[in-house]
Amino acid sequence: MNATPSLAPRPQVEIALGARSYGIHIGAGLLESPASYAGLPRAAAALIVSNTTVGPLYAQRLAAALAPHYPQLHTLALPDGEAYKNWDTLNLIFSTLLERGCDRQTVLFALGGGVVGDLSGFAAACYMRGVPFVQIPTTLLAQVDSSVGGKTGINHPLGKNMIGAFYQPQRVICDLDSLRTLPARELSAGLAEVIKYGPIADMAFFDWVETHLDALLARAPQALAHAVQRSCEIKAAVVGQDERESGLRAILNFGHTFGHAIEAGLGYGRWLHGEAVGCGMVLAARLSQLQGGVDESFVQRLIALIARAGLPTVAPLLDANDNLGRYLALMRVDKKAEAGAIKFVLLDRPGSAQLCRVPDELLARALALHGARA
């Protein structure tokens, strides 16, 4: 008699997108659990895409777990870092797929942080006009944000994430054990995206993060599990209503307009994405206060939490001669900009956000209050 096929455990969070729906599995020991991969598309081959930092830690263990399901397993270790999120690195994935004779059923497994996930997802969207892929995020930032929702892409020297596609994974597998090997700086960067969810959607969660931040920094398993699950729940609810960011989904970019400008202006990789977002939230909160959405006490409360998380709260100087002009030029190529007009995600009250246009003079005031001096 044939053995009953193993069934994947019910995911903790589900992304409801009709035929493109999928689950987010959150827990310890998921990387090597056979149940994590039950029910995924089967194929003659699979490609594990990782990087030179994560690959040596986890690629062999993942390959062992996948071996019963895929007769041919290929691995690729990309160079590590935001500076490599570009066409050249993307082509390494395409070249590997073509050189190994991979067909359109081949499944890509993205094993790593946000850069690996974004590159792998974009490659999966493009290769033979679309092959399945699975996200296995190994950083806190990727587990709570970038692996969820189907945004994939690469950077351009003039703007972050400006080239890409919406392409949903088959599954997201968040093994909390992988956070044990995460450098402290990367953990702090991930906390920026955790903190973000409170001001835009759930002040009770914001209160919880304030209370449990020390436990999160200490990597307490229960605290991390709750932070990842609640973050994914909030993002899933937003993405389920607005998959392609035609409206509501833009609120997930709180702090990102300034943050992306900082990353591009300094050079990709100088600041981690979460560091730039943390600082960007300070500036966005200040703009929200100048627009009347929140009061000064809330701005200071958010700044204090961001600082406690180990994130920068002072915006870097991008141009000693015309710092405001440099910020404006970079932000005008943000994806939310329309006809050269910059749009920001601002708080209309704590726990609620909306997309707004802001006069340049208010941007100047925010930078004057929270920017580095020449």
Main-chain dihedrals φ then ψ at residue 273, nearest 5 degrees: -55, -45
Do the beta carbons of residue 141 and residue 273 sit within 8 Å? yes
pTM: 0.94
What is the distance between the alpha carbons of residues 315 and 301, in angstroms, rounded to a whole number? 18
Mode of pairing for the β-strands spanning 22-27 and 171-175: parallel
* pLDDT single digits (tens) 43-73: 999 999 999 999 999 999 999 999 999 999 9
Residues 6 or more apart from 118 whose CB is under 8 A from it?
A: 85, 146, 151, 152, 153, 154, 161, 164
pLDDT in tens, the chain (374 residues): 344 445 667 899 999 999 999 999 999 999 999 899 999 999 999 999 999 999 999 999 999 999 999 999 999 999 999 999 999 999 999 999 999 999 999 999 999 999 999 999 999 999 999 999 999 999 999 999 999 999 999 999 888 898 999 999 999 999 999 999 999 999 999 999 999 999 999 999 999 999 999 999 999 999 999 999 999 999 999 999 999 998 999 999 999 999 999 999 999 999 999 999 999 999 999 999 999 999 999 999 999 999 999 999 999 999 999 999 999 999 988 877 776 788 999 999 999 999 999 999 999 999 999 999 86
Helix (H, G, I), strand (E, B) or coil at 135: strand
Residue type, 277: V
Active-site annotation, residues: 129, 151, 193, 235, 245, 249, 253, 256, 260, 273
What is the distance between the alpha carbons of residues 342 and 287, in angstroms, rounded to a whole number? 13
* pLDDT single digits (tens) 319-334: 999 999 999 999 988 8
Report the mean per-residue pLDDT for the chain.
95
DSSP-derived secondary structure for 270-299? SS-HHHHHHHHHHHHHHHHHHTTSS-HHHH
Please give the structure tokens belonging to residue 49. 């895409």
What is the distance between the alpha carbons of residues 352 and 164, in angstroms, rounded to a whole number? 28
* pLDDT single digits (tens) 171-222: 999 999 999 999 999 999 999 999 999 999 999 999 999 999 999 999 999 9
